[in-house]
């Protein structure tokens, strides 16, 4: 783990991005940590990182957990039936709204 000031990171961003491949780079301002540079190894990891820090997504998760605690949730099979039905509905809707492509001849 490397520690660098905002000014140093600003002056040598490319070098610190390369260093983040080896481990996190802690960015400081006036000696206090203010950010972290992390290497992204794949898109799934990036998505998990962004969602983990999304207040809106965290609120959705909290609301869902509270709802499951009070209602007991739904059986696994029912959940997947509803997901598949929603996907089919969306696929059908997409078929109806598509316009034929214009081809020049």
* 33 plus 51 within the same structural domain: no
Q: Domain limits at 63?
A: 43-94
* 65 plus 27 within the same structural domain: no
pLDDT tens per residue across span 51-66: 999 999 999 999 999 9
**pLDDT score of 105 more than 50:** no
* 61 plus 88 within the same structural domain: yes
Ordered DSSP codes for the chain: -EEEEHHHHHHTHHHHHHHTTTS-EEEEETTEEEEEE----SHHHHHHHHHHT-HHHHHHHHHHHHHHHHH----HHHHHHHHHHHHHHHHHHHHHH--PPP---
pLDDT tens per residue across span 29-38: 999 999 999 9
* 53 plus 23 within the same structural domain: no
Residue 79 is assigned to a structural domain of this protein: yes
Report the number of distinct structural domains present in the chain.
2
* 52 plus 85 within the same structural domain: yes
Q: What is the pLDDT of residue 100?
A: 54
Tokens read off for 79 = 């959940």
Residue 102 is assigned to a structural domain of this protein: no
Q: Is the pTM of this model over 0.95?
A: no
**pLDDT score of 96 more than 80:** no
């Amino acid at each position: 783990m490397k520690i660098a000031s905002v000014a140093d990171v600003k002056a040598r961003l490319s070098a610190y991005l390369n260093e983040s491949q080896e481990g996190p780079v802690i960015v400081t301002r006036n000696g206090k940590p203010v950010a972290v540079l992390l290497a992204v190894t794949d898109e799934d990891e990036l998505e998990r990182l962004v969602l983990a820090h999304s207040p809106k997504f965290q609120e959705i998760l909290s609301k869902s957990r509270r709802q499951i605690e009070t209602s007991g949730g739904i059986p696994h099979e029912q959940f997947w039936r509803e997901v598949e039905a929603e996907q089919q509905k969306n696929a059908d809707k997409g078929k109806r709204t598509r316009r034929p492509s214009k081809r020049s001849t």
